[in-house]
Amino acid sequence: MNNKQTESLCPHCFRKIPARIVPRGKKVYMEKTCPEHGSFRTILWRGEPAMNTWQRPKIPAPIHYPNTEVVKGCPYDCGICPEHRQHTCTALLEITLDCNIRCPVCFADGGRPGGDPSLDTIESWYQTLLDSGGPYNIQLSGGEPTLRDDLPDIITRGRRLGFDFIQVNTNGIRFYEEPNFLKSSIDAGLASLFLQFDGMTGDVYEKLRGADYLKIKLGLIELCAEMDLGVILVPTVVPGVNDHQLGDIIAFALKNMPTIRGVHFQPISYFGRYPSAPADSMRITLPEVMQKIENQTGGEIKTTNFAPPGCENSLCSFHGNFVLMPSDKLVPLTKRDAAACSCQEAQPAEEGAAAARRFVAQNWRRRSCCCGNETAGESKVSDSLDIFLERIKTHKFCLSAMAFQDVWNINLERLRDCCIHVVSPEGRRIPFCAYNLTNREGVPLYRV
């Protein structure tokens, strides 16, 4: 693998600077130099599957509804601009910046009460999305979105406008403490929880979230089972804190299917104030997450069961789908060779975005079997093909990971392929990593 040129940003002044993707043995780094603030080197990839094999070429999607013009160039004109290369798959609406916990790690700089957008403002965001090619999948985020008493109204308004998949990104505390509030949100049309869930022991939460919230998470998952609500577990993976628990989290998820629909790992990225660059030892890369999953599941799940995405840039994520059979056997559905091949023909990114939207909307919500009773459902089936097809509907298990970019490792080529867009207060769609980007003083590029 040879050096590859791309563009990045200076971690100090946000100036656009050239960057090189440099392989050194089994590791791959980003190296870049700002004429004013010096040189920076950050780990991007360690080990197998090798970065140069992790490809899924795409034909850039034409942006039918740009909201901004190209004036300064990427990443300074986000909105999105006509030079972006992927449509919206999931739109994030930050409905509050208030939060009920204080995490040392937080994308959103949460914990700022007051100034929440009004219901009418949120409705205008929904309308902007409709005017920009929507409806898209919606994730209500924050801060902690459940702190808004009118959350059910926010969901109702979205559903009325035609947004069929509305998910809440939550730490789960209020839903656990107020089951009636959870029920009201489900009645309003909530499809799924994107539940912060970092590990299977209390100390992980103490380190990452400031207190032991494990019992609350477990209790909430029981409530969701009673109320028939699908849950995606979302661990932030931090080296030395919880990267030894990936297998335990997966085992717990499988045990709690079909309420738990999958696990979406997020390797830690560094936003906020960092006077010096985070050490490479503080990062875990996508292939390492795959390898740890294989090791910690005793090989039941293999790295070959994962493939690069068809929607966002190949280097942003991996995913693997499985079916949990009545015997507890996990049947892998995804094959890397089929999806990831540098010799394969490029597929239109536009089709990848549409497929990803459909997949999430179908599989991240709980789907009861045809008769609403799993055991009764199985008694109707006649052979192993029927059982398999029935389980595909109710027990498909989705494992994935997404590597967000921070100012130290941002690759503007990847940013242009982003399909997760945050709706800014003024109604612009801003790629997730651009919206959350801060320089090393903690000053944001976009976030107000």
The answer to the question of residue 392 lying near another protein (CB under 8 A) is: yes
Least gap, CB of 384 to another protein (angstroms)? 4
Q: Which of residues 291-320 bind another protein (CB under 8 A)?
A: 307, 310
Would you say 78 or 307 has its CB closer to another protein? 307
Nearer to another protein among residue 333 and residue 346 (C-beta) = 333
| Site for another protein contains 262 (CB under 8 A) | no
Taking the least distance from each CB to another protein, the nearer of 9 and 339 is 339
Contact pattern from residue 324 through residue 343 relative to another protein, giving x for each residue in contact according to CB under 8 A and a dash for the rest: -------x-xxx--xx----
CB of 42 to another protein, least distance (A): 31
| Shortest CB 56 distance to another protein, Å | 9
Is 67 or 321 the residue whose CB approaches another protein more closely?
Answer: 321
Binds another protein (CB under 8 A): choice among 2, 5, 276, 384: 384
Q: Which is nearer to another protein, 345 or 383 (CB)?
A: 383
Compute the least distance from the CB of residue 317 to another protein, in Å: 14
Residue 385 binds to another protein (criterion: CB under 8 A): yes
Identify residues 232-251 at the interface with another protein (CB under 8 A): none
Stretch that binds another protein, among 158-166, 176-184, 295-303, 385-393 (CB under 8 A): 385-393
Binding window for another protein (CB under 8 A); candidates: 4-12, 122-130, 211-219, 384-392: 384-392
| Closest to another protein by CB, 273 or 335 | 335
How near is the Cβ of 382 to another protein at its closest, in Å? 9
The correct pick among 164, 226, 386, 426 for binding another protein (CB under 8 A) is 386
Residue placing its CB nearer to another protein in the complex, 64 or 335: 335
What gap in Å lies between CA 307 and CA 303, rounded to an integer? 9
Residues making contact with another protein (CB under 8 A): 307, 310, 321, 323, 331, 333-335, 338-339, 383-386, 388-389, 392
